[in-house]
């Protein structure tokens, strides 16, 4: 009997709902930017998979966040975390390029230089990606709301 009571009072697992406009806009602009900036077929399988995983993972995280109850502070923290992961990925890639591609020894200075390069080169692309996706979401939602209003006005009985 106790098992039955526990089963009926146990909290149900929370379903994660994804915000479709967020997911689609981030994926479209992220993958388009990736295809324009890099040659996906010539960049190497490792870099291609890393970039695709980053874009897909960030897009899913943002869509899940916008699909749930959210707060402004949490949104800023999520964007900062996504940005920091991107800077870390590019910093490590630049460090490999600096160390492997030059006779410069692997030092703390080379690591700092690589991460500064990542900050200055990744940040504009990140802001452009988020900005274009945000603008598309606003236009999409305005268009859907406008279409619903027009359809509601047409189907109202006189």
Mean pLDDT by 10 residues, the chain (158 residues): 55 71 88 73 68 90 86 87 93 77 68 87 90 87 69 54
Distances from the Cα of 76 to the Cα of 63, 81, 126, angstroms? 14, 9, 14
Asked if residue 11 belongs to a domain, the reply is no
Asked if residue 113 belongs to a domain, the reply is yes
Asked if residue 31 belongs to a domain, the reply is yes
Asked if residue 148 belongs to a domain, the reply is no
Q: Which domain holds residue 80?
A: 16-137
Q: What is the pLDDT of residue 60?
A: 93
Indicate the number of domains in the chain: 1
pTM over the 0.85 mark: no
Asked if residue 4 belongs to a domain, the reply is no
Nearest residue to 85 via CA among 49, 32, 43, 126: 126
Instruction: Tell me 107's DSSP state.
Output: -
Asked if residue 44 belongs to a domain, the reply is yes
Asked if residue 143 belongs to a domain, the reply is no
Q: What is the pLDDT of residue 105?
A: 67
Q: What is the pLDDT of residue 103?
A: 65
How many Cβ atoms sit within 10 Å of the Cβ of residue 118?
20
Q: What stretch of H or E contains 6? A: helix 2-9
Asked if residue 63 belongs to a domain, the reply is yes
Q: What is the pLDDT of residue 136?
A: 87
């Amino acid at each position: 009997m106790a098992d039955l009571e526990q089963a009926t009072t146990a909290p149900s697992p929370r379903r994660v709902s994804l915000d479709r406009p967020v997911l689609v806009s981030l994926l479209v602009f992220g993958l388009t930017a990736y295809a324009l900036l890099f040659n996906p077929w010539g960049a190497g399988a490792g870099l291609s998979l890393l970039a695709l995983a980053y874009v897909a993972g960030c897009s899913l995280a943002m869509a899940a966040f916008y699909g749930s109850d959210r707060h402004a502070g949490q949104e800023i923290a999520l964007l900062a975390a996504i940005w920091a992961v991107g800077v870390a990925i590019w910093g490590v890639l630049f460090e490999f390029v600096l160390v492997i591609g030059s006779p410069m020894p692997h030092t703390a200075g080379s690591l700092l230089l690589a991460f500064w390069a990542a900050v200055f080169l990744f940040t504009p692309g990140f802001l452009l990606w988020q900005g274009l996706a945000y603008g598309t979401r606003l236009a999409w939602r305005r268009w859907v709301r406008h279409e619903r209003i027009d359809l509601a006005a047409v189907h109202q009985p006189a």
